[in-house]
Amino acid sequence: MNAPDKTLSDGKNLSEQAHERIRRDILSGELFPGEKLQIDTVSERYGIGMAPVREALNRLSSEGLVERKSQRGFFVAEISMEALNELVRTRIWLETLALRESILHGDETWEEQLVLSYHRLARTHRRMPAEVGRELSEEWELRHKEFHMLLLDRCGSGWLLGFCSTMMDQAVRYRSLSMNVHPSLLRREGAAAEHEALLRAAIERDADLACRLLTEHYAMTLEGLRGVIVKGAE
């Protein structure tokens, strides 16, 4: 039996590292929309070889976080209010579908996991000061995504969950960039109560109410981002 090729394994690990670190900096706003991603510069920034970096950038391009322009190389994907409106509209379409199915098929274990996830999110939210540092904001984003994905978890479609996860990541990017203009954005008044109401509706198996609350939740977030993104683009 042949031993595994260590060179191939190391290359894959480095590509994974590059993908995760570049992705993290795009989502957090460290790498700004439209910024050119020179292979050698990115390689030097992260201390990872150019081949794994190129592979990571190609992967991020397929995920919509990086744009590959013919003859010009790689760039951080641009943002716009038009794109954000489309993102939120599509999230509402797909996530309400997933939420309705998840509520229909959820069991007691799902309910318990959902309650625990909500409490972790609420606890992180309470710890936030007016000026949110990167470490705490990343923890909040992690808890926030865990809660929203768990709401959808029993929908029965890995494809649908994958699409919803990708769109949630895109929303994180808008929120992080907006925090450069409005650092307290993560503490939007009413957001914590909206999460609690979503939890209650899901546990009570009121799919109509839960879908309405989710739609209103994203609409409120969109309005909160609207003026900030426009201001930041000026």
Q: What is the mean pLDDT of each run of 10 residues along the chain (234 residues)?
A: 43 85 89 92 94 94 90 90 92 98 97 97 78 69 94 97 93 76 56 93 98 94 69 46
Do 72 and 85 have their domain in common?
no
Task: With 0.75 as the threshold, say if the pTM is over it.
Answer: yes
User: Could you tell me if residue 204 is inside a domain?
Assistant: yes
Do 228 and 199 have their domain in common?
yes
* Cβ count near 16 (within 10 Å): 14
Do 111 and 196 have their domain in common?
yes
- The SS3 of residue 1 is coil
User: Could you tell me if residue 200 is inside a domain?
Assistant: yes
Range of the domain at 59: 6-76
* Cβ count near 121 (within 10 Å): 24
Do 170 and 102 have their domain in common?
yes
Q: Which CATH number belongs to the domain containing residue 156 in this structure?
A: 1.20.120.530
Do 99 and 72 have their domain in common?
no
Given 29, 56, 76, the domain boundary residue is: 76
Do 151 and 218 have their domain in common?
yes
pLDDT for 140 equals: 86
Q: Which CATH number belongs to the domain containing residue 70 in this structure?
A: 1.10.10.10
* Cβ count near 129 (within 10 Å): 10
User: Could you tell me if residue 229 is inside a domain?
Assistant: yes
User: Could you tell me if residue 1 is inside a domain?
Assistant: no
Q: For 22-66, what is each residue's pLDDT tens digit?
A: 999 998 888 988 999 999 999 999 999 999 999 999 999 988 899
Do 147 and 196 have their domain in common?
yes
* Cβ count near 194 (within 10 Å): 17
Show the tokens assigned to 45: 């920034």
Do 64 and 177 have their domain in common?
no
pLDDT for 66 equals: 94
Do 66 and 99 have their domain in common?
no
Domain total in the chain: 2
* Torsional class of 52: left (φ above 0), alpha (ψ -120 to 50), beta (otherwise): alpha
Given 76, 101, 136, the domain boundary residue is: 76
Given 39, 58, 76, the domain boundary residue is: 76
User: Could you tell me if residue 61 is inside a domain?
Assistant: yes
Chain centroid to CA 71: how far?
A: 30
